[in-house]
Structure 1
């Protein structure tokens, strides 16, 4: 086996290693289907590289040509679908099938109808670049992009765009007419640089995607740590972290902090038991989640106490929000607590002042909540 062939074996080796890495990750995070797709893409990349190296270059049947083309295009389509699935961008499969199918069809045409190896090389390489550029552009549609998504975008885009200059330069370097024939294909400069480029590019794409998955896992663990056990809201630590960071990002933008709790909650527990008390807390948290906007921050900060940071809200806006929520709680929901008990709630509002810290806002909101309780409960103060 020639040194070049040994060097080229790094490509399938890289594919196998990353296929196993992603497969192990998926076995621990089975809800993340994009990890499984990435494992399949890496495994198929390995098979495609082996097919291109070892299948015969038959001028009559085109086994190497067609099998490697189908495998490479399917591998790229799986990679792009994994990339976009992770970002929450849907509806890509028909476009990927159309794009990949069209490229394979062109390769078949320039083998079986109008045989031309040079054009097939252009079609396959530029087709690979087109699929990756498509994936990068679709990635811009992600609704909630993270910093790693920008890294993925530029990595995939630049890898896709590189196919044009590299293909042109290496093909022209192989001869005065830029031609490569079947006999000298595997000894050509194009084939040598192709294998070297694929090693670098496969490592770049797989490592960047692996980094994205690792960051997703870390973020998921942090979110789990900050999530309240009973409600769909943050716990106290999560609320203070997110609300503090949110206020810092907002700069001088106005905001209001709401403290609220369930009236006579101890009596609910004493009368009906902790099971009913937990059901009331769960319902209260759900009603808050339904009432807040996307940019607001809401959390359960104590037993029956909740906090809500309302961005861009004047005091009158916050008062209307609290009144709507108070009426929703008062209206109740059948089956949560036995009649004739009626769950009510009290609210305290603190308006953000210039230079306020989150701790200062929370202290003033707490004072307003106690004022609401002193003044008869089931009311809004602020």
Structure 2
């Protein structure tokens, strides 16, 4: 076996001093780009399952632009046109992100201030890069300008008062990130030797790692809130009747065995209502007219119920309203408002115009009584109102002779007669 000839000291030294393919700074920049592309892909995946949420496309665009800016800034000490192009992409990514956040928060805002600020910021960046050749001023302007864009968007979002836990975490987390961004820019931008997308700060490993952490927190909180929106929407769709926008029968059946009243001092009342002559409406005016009638009933019920009440469409033309902490008398008053609004509603169809009437049955809850048992008692009062001539309210706590009945020629002149 021939022994391996040892390398000369000079060759050994040259081999040990071969430059690494990437510097630590460049690897961190690539980490920024990879994280941003991951967030962009996640936003597109969420959008693919909920395409009505178009703000997710703005999120994907924002993170995609950020990744492009990071890749352009990857070379050590980038020069024009890479330096200005990286800064421009970064500003565009922040603009897309702010527009996406405002669209998600349904904030009624004018896009002009954000757009004007973005254009002015780009003009300053071009001036400092092309005219002054001042990399420190460029980095400072980039950091402060993008922070101002995010702060302006945050202030607009504050007016919408985020309600959900995910919304509050994303909202206040964004403010913390903006404060850190602006503070870091003020403290370190003057030592900048180049432009780094993500903070516009000095290109030290510590600063760049901090910026990467900010990116992960920002993308994580915003996309987590967006995903929570989709999950909440799917849950709502599962228990919502699409025609009336009330809770559906599935939700009623899932609640059927739960106790309605747990406190003797807080009874609840259940209202059942059934449209009168609904089959004749379908036969005379068509099923589309019947669907329109159901939608009107749903609108009127939503208009009359209080915050905290539950309203269901049980199927066909039958509806239920559970009024928490209400007596049968209060429920009868609410039912009478619904009945009067129904009688005043005119449903117009190609075959003609008609109005609606309904019969109501009301029962008051008992201690630890399941919803199904309360439903059975209210259902008996509903059929009692039907037997008495329809367009009436029969409440369990009132004698039969006091059931609300209105003659057509007095308070319901437009009640349907077929």
Cα contact 2:285–2:349 (8 A) shared by 1: no
1:272-291 aligned within 5 A: 280-291=293-304
What do residues 333-376 of structure 1 show as CA deviations (whole Å, max 9, x unaligned)?
A: 35569899975311234567888875676455445434433443
Find the counterpart in structure 2 of residue 174 from structure 1.
none
Instruction: Pick from 149, 159, 178 the counterpart of residue 177 of structure 2.
Output: 159
User: How much has 1:220 moved relative to structure 2?
Assistant: 1.9
Aligned partners of 2:56 and 2:337: how far apart in 1? 43
Q: Assess, with a 3 A threshold, how the Cα gap between structure 1 residues 356 and 88 changes in structure 2: closer, same or farther.
A: farther
Aligned length: 367
Partner of 2:165: 147
> Which shifted more, 336-345 or 210-219?
336-345
Indicate whether 1:209 and 2:222 are aligned.
yes
Aligned residue runs from structure 1 range 112-131, under 5 A: 112=130, 114=132, 116-131=134-149
Contact 1:372 1:380 survives alignment (8 Å): yes
- SS of corresponding position for 1:261: strand
Contact 1:298 1:308 in 2 (8 A): yes
CA distance in 2, matches of 1:366, 1:337: 35
Q: Distance in 2 between matches of 1:147 and 1:17?
A: 24
Equivalent residues of 2:31, 2:212 under 8 A apart: yes
Which of 66, 89, 102 in structure 2 is aligned with 1:84? 102
Greater gyration radius: 2
Deviations 1:270-292 (A, max 9, x none): 88887776564444334434544
Give 1 or 2: higher helix fraction: 1
User: In structure 1, what is the Cα distance between the partners aligned to 2:348 and 2:72?
Assistant: 64
Task: State the distance in 2 between where 1:53 and 1:356 align.
Answer: 68
Mark the CA change 1:123 to 1:355 in structure 2 (over 3 Å): closer, same or farther. farther
Q: 1:381 aligns with which of 394, 397, 414?
A: 394
Task: Give the aligned partner of residue 22 of structure 2.
Answer: 2
What is the TM-score normalised by the length of structure 2?
0.72
The range that moved more, 345-354 or 192-201, is: 345-354
Once the two structures are TM-superposed, the CA of residue 25 in structure 1 deviates from its matched residue by: 3.1
Residue aligned with 2:382, SS: helix
User: With structure 1 as the length reference, what TM-score do the two structures score?
Assistant: 0.78
Query: Paired residue for 1:34, among 17, 38, 55?
Result: 55
The structural deviation recorded for 1:160 is 0.9
Separation (CA, whole Å) in 2 of partners of 1:258 and 1:6:
66
1:70 matched to which residue of 2?
88
Would you say 1:372 and 2:388 are equivalent positions?
no
CA distance in 1, matches of 2:390, 2:372: 24
User: What root-mean-square deviation, in Å, do the aligned CA atoms of Structure 1 and Structure 2 show?
Assistant: 4.0
Q: Which residue does 1:175 correspond to in 2? A: none
Rate the CA distance shift 1:130–1:320 in 2: closer, same or farther, 3 A.
Answer: same
SS at match of 2:181: helix
Q: Rate the CA distance shift 1:11–1:312 in 2: closer, same or farther, 3 A.
A: same
Q: Deviations over 1:144-196 (max 9, x none)?
A: 6322111111221111111233334545xxxxxx644469xxxx964423432
Equivalent pair of 1:332/1:343 in contact (CA under 8 Å):
yes
Answer yes or no: is the 8 Å Cα contact 2:66–2:93 preserved in 1: yes
CA deviation profile, 1:216-246 (whole Å, cap 9, x unmatched): 222222122112254332212335779999x
CA contact (8 A) 1:239 1:297 kept: no
Residues 8-52 of structure 1, C-alpha deviation per residue, up to 9 Å, x if partnerless? 211112222322332233234322111111110011001111122
The structural deviation recorded for 1:113 is 5.3
2:163 aligns to what SS in structure 1? coil
Moved more, 144-153 or 235-244: 235-244
| Equivalent of residue 14 in structure 1, options 16, 19, 35 | 35
SS of 1:9's equivalent? helix
Of 152-161 and 252-261, more deviation after overlay is shown by: 252-261
Of 346, 359, 364, 1:333 maps to 346
* Bigger mean CA deviation after superposition, 9-18 or 325-334: 325-334
Question: Is the Cα–Cα contact under 8 Å of residues 102 and 157 in structure 2 kept in the other structure?
Answer: yes
Mapped partners of 2:162, 2:58: distance in 1: 21
